[in-house]
Amino acid sequence: MTTFLIIAAVFTCIVALIGTLLVGKEISAKMNEYETEGDTIENELARSHEYETKSIKTNLKSLSWIYIILILLVIFVCIGILLYE
């Protein structure tokens, strides 16, 4: 049973890492899109404002959910290990 719980914890960490990388990939794609649009001062200011208002909220929300779930699962795994030993 302990082996199963450890494998579940490792799997959960890997899933969280993949989720984090996907959010990072999304940000990188958005940055590449911004670079191809051009870089006038007006465009940079608009992009900066958009990033501050939209991207932070969505990315922070996604990462928060990923890590909240990760923390809860790790807590359950630790409790499971303690109970079954």
Compute the distance between CA of residue 75 and CA of residue 44 in angstroms, rounded to an integer.
43
State the total domains in the chain: 1
pLDDT above 70 (res 27) = yes
**What pTM does this model have?**
0.60
Q: Higher model confidence: residue 22 or residue 40? A: 22
pLDDT above 70 (res 19) = yes
pLDDT in tens, 40-54: 777 778 877 877 777
Sign of CA dihedral 48, 54, 57, 62: negative
Q: Which domain holds residue 53?
A: 2-84
